[in-house]
Amino acid sequence: MLRIAIVGGSGYTGIELLRILKFHPRANVVAVTSRKYAGRPAGAVFPSLHGYDDLFFTEPDVTYLSKTADWIFTAVPHKTAMSIVPQFFEAGCRIIDLSADFRLRDRRTYEIWYQAHTASEILNKAVYGMPEIYREKIAGAQLVANPGCYPTSAILPLVPLLNSKIISSKRIIADSKSGASGAGRNPSVVTLYCEVNEALKAYKVAEHRHLPEIEQELSVAAGKPVFITFTPHLVPMTRGILTTIYAQMNEKISTDRVLAVIKEFYKNSPFVRILPEGTFPDISYVRGSNFCDIGAKVDRHTNMLILISAIDNLVKGASGQAVQNLNIMAGLDESSGLGTIPLFP
């Protein structure tokens, strides 16, 4: 059994890791940390886990954790992550970091959007943890930077088409709609029930921190710098991101052909589902699962390609993808512990 520690177990992604790993056939969570709940069993703090009372929250003691576990999930905020990841790295643990600290390969870009990078010495060891694109590199990585939720939803539909030059790398627009769980579990007025319910708004318009992450990966796919327009919106639902993408086509091709190209690209990727022409993704069909559903339509009347993707932001956009990375790193079946049917309705 893989011995696993989760650092930061009381946020939504930490709870989701506990949920997913509970029935993983080869993983065993041996430690989970939370300064706030240290000393209390996870099942008492989160009654959804009630009955699984053998696991107690502890303080985040890196030395202890490095000895107890071989695999570390860091589910802490950026900045905190880079303050502890180097120690786990040095201790020889294999790490899946769910923060943004090791996603941007270019240190300067990171420092423009976040803050000074204090672990840049291991930045080039990190592999961007999108299995559908970097599966081989992930297998051998000691440190995997688990992708952001918005980037996952924007990168997966675009990479095959940029890669094959079917679409132009210019004037790509990603209009994303996210549920509130993406904002985390910290108390805040803007994510109070009454501020989100029956509300709908764009935020951080054209300046969200996930922008450089999306552009980094699209540039790799296109083989040249790609700049996009990215508008995130907050939608009154708990889980899910739906991203609607608008792209110019380099040649006139049919919707059918677009879908075939994407399908071929992901033929060995069990979690990417390409919907048939005329049908489009719906958050309610991926909830609780690690799927990314993708649909497409060529708007003949303006010659614009419309791509739509749907993920559960806490699963494929965070903890599920992290477990998928674990599986690959550990040489297991990529789907181990992730074989969940979406919860509908």
Matching residue, tokens 């749907």: 310
Residues 43-62 close enough to bind a copy of itself by CB under 8 A: 44, 46-52
The verdict on 11 binding a copy of itself (CB under 8 A) reads: no
Out of 181, 313, 321, 325, the residue judged to bind a copy of itself by CB under 8 A: 181
Matching residue, tokens 């489009």: 280
Pair of tokens at residue 177: 């709609």
Q: What pairs with residue 56 in β-bridges?
A: 41
The verdict on 205 binding a copy of itself (CB under 8 A) reads: yes
Which CB atom, from 66 or from 244, has the smaller least distance to a copy of itself? 244
Which CB atom, from 17 or from 159, has the smaller least distance to a copy of itself? 17
Out of 92, 140, 331, 345, the residue judged to bind a copy of itself by CB under 8 A: 345
The verdict on 80 binding a copy of itself (CB under 8 A) reads: no
Spatial distance between the Cα atoms of 273 and 295, rounded to a whole number of angstroms: 9
Which CB atom, from 103 or from 208, has the smaller least distance to a copy of itself? 208
Which CB atom, from 40 or from 67, has the smaller least distance to a copy of itself? 40
Question: Dihedral sign, CA of 153, 20, 61, 44?
Answer: positive
The verdict on 35 binding a copy of itself (CB under 8 A) reads: no
The verdict on 65 binding a copy of itself (CB under 8 A) reads: no
Pair of tokens at residue 220: 């790799």
- CB 90, min distance to a copy of itself, A: 33
Residue 254: CA count within 13 A, CB half-sphere: 6
Residues 283-302 close enough to bind a copy of itself by CB under 8 A: 283-289, 291, 293, 297, 299, 301-302
- CB 291, min distance to a copy of itself, A: 8
Matching residue, tokens 């990171």: 110
Residues 230-249 close enough to bind a copy of itself by CB under 8 A: 231, 233, 235-240, 242, 244, 246, 248
Spatial distance between the Cα atoms of 123 and 118, rounded to a whole number of angstroms: 10
Residues 320-339 close enough to bind a copy of itself by CB under 8 A: 339
Spatial distance between the Cα atoms of 91 and 77, rounded to a whole number of angstroms: 21
Query: What is the signed CA dihedral for 263, 264, 267, 272, rounded to 10 degrees?
Result: -30
Q: Which of 93, 149, 194, 292 is catalytic?
A: 149
Rg over alpha carbons for the chain, rounded to the nearest Å, is: 20
Per-residue x/- track, 214-233, a copy of itself (CB under 8 A): -------------xxx-x-x
Spatial distance between the Cα atoms of 114 and 159, rounded to a whole number of angstroms: 25
Out of 28, 171, 254, 260, the residue judged to bind a copy of itself by CB under 8 A: 171
Which CB atom, from 87 or from 191, has the smaller least distance to a copy of itself? 191
Residues 98-157 close enough to bind a copy of itself by CB under 8 A: none
Segment interacting with a copy of itself (CB under 8 A) among 10-18, 66-74, 80-88, 112-120: 10-18
Cβ atoms of 31 and 68 within 8 Å: the answer is: yes
Out of 91, 122, 139, 202, the residue judged to bind a copy of itself by CB under 8 A: 202
The verdict on 277 binding a copy of itself (CB under 8 A) reads: no
The verdict on 254 binding a copy of itself (CB under 8 A) reads: no
Length of the chain: 345
The verdict on 199 binding a copy of itself (CB under 8 A) reads: yes
Spatial distance between the Cα atoms of 148 and 130, rounded to a whole number of angstroms: 10
- CB 176, min distance to a copy of itself, A: 10
Of 238, 237, 218, 234, which Cα lies nearest the Cα of 226? 218
292 is catalytic: no
Cβ atoms of 226 and 219 within 8 Å: the answer is: yes
Give the CA distances from residue 43 to residues 10, 19, 53, 118, 340, in Å, rounded to whole numbers and listed in that order: 11, 11, 5, 35, 22
- CB 181, min distance to a copy of itself, A: 5
Question: Dihedral sign, CA of 236, 239, 240, 241?
Answer: positive
| Enzyme catalytic residues | 149
